[in-house]
Amino acid sequence: MPARENTHALLPHLFRQEYARMTAVLCRHFGLEQIELAEDIAGDTFLKASESWAVDGIPENPVAWLYTVARNKVRDYLRHRAVFETKIRPGFTDDNDLTDHFDFDEGLIADSQLAMIFAVFNPELSAESQICLALQVLCGFSVEEIANAFLAKPETIKKRLHRARTRLREDRFRIVALGETDIRPRIDAVLKTLYLLFNEGYFSRTHDQAVRKELCSEAVRLNLVLTENPLTNTPEANALLALMCYQSSRLEARTDGDGQIVRYEAQDRSLWDQSLIDKGNYYLINAGGGETLSKYHLEAAIAYWHTQPDTPASAPEPTESRTAKTSKWQHILLLYDELLRVAYTPVAALNRAFAYARVYGNRAAIRETETLGFTETSDYHALLGYLYTSVDTSKAVDHYRRAIALSQSEAARQVLEKQLMCL
């Protein structure tokens, strides 16, 4: 494969993995007030990689190459820009200090990244602003992707980001080793951001691809940073990581050769990753040490049951008058009932209706779904289209057409159109 093709395949992955880590270490030295400078240096490093690797090929150790270039760019900047003379030079005795201060060792990177994760969550900002900032600074989300996560207009997100970044520069939070008082008021927003990041990758609504595995991988990586530090290794962090592992175990089976979504019941289970299921089990056990039952615990438990075998094929299908005994769907339905009490969302309500159909049949589930009244959402009509398929074909067609009209994702529209054609 030509060097250019290799570069195009590797660089996006490295950007997701290393850009935020590099920025965090730079902010540790420059201070958060110089975050734009840190982002510029990190961005220039990846720009040079895209130019150099396309010609010379990928180096033997591409990550080390990136950090060497970043370090050299810092030294060049400090020597030649006026800001060095007025704001930073007094802190160094000679140029040898530059070498000592900008070693990108793994311990420094890990500490800096954890601190950077929490730095963007200033309790004085609204929760929405904290999450918007984290999605952009830590995860590389575009304004469009953030707007979709909040169901807001891009212009609204731009203004929110501008205010949040201004406040971040003014914040006295330091990129240093964290204490419990730094973590406690910010941990909930951190977990919520990682949850949104994973969901955008698991079923992207703003991208041509239905599944964006790099976003799922980034969410898992950042969540691992939390579980690897004693101060942030909380039951909720473990529950969220368990959820991500269970969901990630089915990623290879969620799309077909054309990149279109494969419904759960049609997935090739030989493609499920048992090692990730095992990791999910491990983190779910670790999550059991707390006194509270969070939404992450409940969603992880639901995801666990989705990885378990269905009722044997020889067993009778459930009907309105007869439930399937000890079916995993009964467990899932009970967990959704509890989830809706803890953290009600339209998505959870619709997923519960799907589980209800697996226990009580499609006709009963149609009645449950129609009481929800989410008539202006694509997912609502997509579910009704699916449920009506075995009950009333004309109504199924009508709902699928309405779902297609309301969908904002090209990938989702393709799936819906394929289901419509099969009626």
Same domain, yes or no, for 224 and 108?
Answer: yes
Residue 369 lies in a domain: no
pLDDT tier at 84, thresholds 50, 70, 90: low
Contacts of 403 (CB under 8 A, 6+ apart): 378, 379, 380, 381, 382, 385, 416
Same domain, yes or no, for 221 and 350?
Answer: no
Over pLDDT 90: what percentage of the chain?
A: 39
Look at residue 134 in the predicted model and tell me its pLDDT.
85
- Asked if the model's pLDDT at residue 1 lies above 60, the reply is no
Same domain, yes or no, for 298 and 324?
Answer: no
Residue 194 lies in a domain: yes
Same domain, yes or no, for 58 and 38?
Answer: yes
Q: Which two tokens stand for residue 192?
A: 């919520």
Same domain, yes or no, for 120 and 242?
Answer: no
Same domain, yes or no, for 123 and 8?
Answer: yes
What average pLDDT does the segment 55-68 reach? Answer: 88
pLDDT tier at 2, thresholds 50, 70, 90: very low
What angle, 0 to 180 degrees and rounded to 10, lies between the N-to-C axes of helices 62-80 and 35-56? 130
Which stretch of 74-78, 206-210, 310-314, 397-401 has the lowest confidence by average pLDDT?
310-314
Last residue of a domain, one of 307, 332, 352: 307
Look at residue 38 in the predicted model and tell me its pLDDT.
84
Residue 409's identity, in one-letter code, is S
- Asked if the model's pLDDT at residue 288 lies above 80, the reply is yes
What average pLDDT does the segment 407-422 reach? Answer: 86
pLDDT tier at 196, thresholds 50, 70, 90: confident
Same domain, yes or no, for 114 and 201?
Answer: yes
What is the DSSP code string of 90-115?
GG-SSTHHHHHHT---HHHHHHHHHH
- Asked if the model's pLDDT at residue 102 lies above 70, the reply is no
Residue 265 lies in a domain: no
Same domain, yes or no, for 10 and 132?
Answer: yes
Higher local confidence (pLDDT), 98 or 407: 407
Residue 108 lies in a domain: yes
For 265-330, give the secondary structure using H, E and C. Answer: HHCCHHHCCHHHHHHHHHHHHHHHHCCCCCHHHHHHHHHHHHCCCCCCCCCCCCCCCCCCCCCHHH
Same domain, yes or no, for 176 and 125?
Answer: yes
Residue 283 lies in a domain: yes
Tell me if 262 sits within 8 A of 254, measured CB to CB.
yes
| Cα distances (angstroms) measured from residue 398 to each of 172, 309, 405, 416 | 56, 33, 11, 12
pLDDT tens profile 334-391: 999 999 999 999 999 999 999 999 999 999 999 999 999 999 999 999 999 999 999 9
pLDDT tier at 315, thresholds 50, 70, 90: very low
Same domain, yes or no, for 62 and 86?
Answer: yes
Look at residue 105 in the predicted model and tell me its pLDDT.
59
Same domain, yes or no, for 22 and 136?
Answer: yes
Contacts of 83 (CB under 8 A, 6+ apart): 37
Same domain, yes or no, for 355 and 289?
Answer: no
Residue 368 lies in a domain: no
Residue 260 lies in a domain: no
Residue 198 lies in a domain: yes
Higher local confidence (pLDDT), 92 or 290: 290
Residue 90's identity, in one-letter code, is P
pTM of the model: 0.79
Domain total in the chain: 4
Quote the domain boundaries for residue 120.
Answer: 3-232
How far apart are the C-alpha atoms of 56 and 330, rounded to whole Å? 58
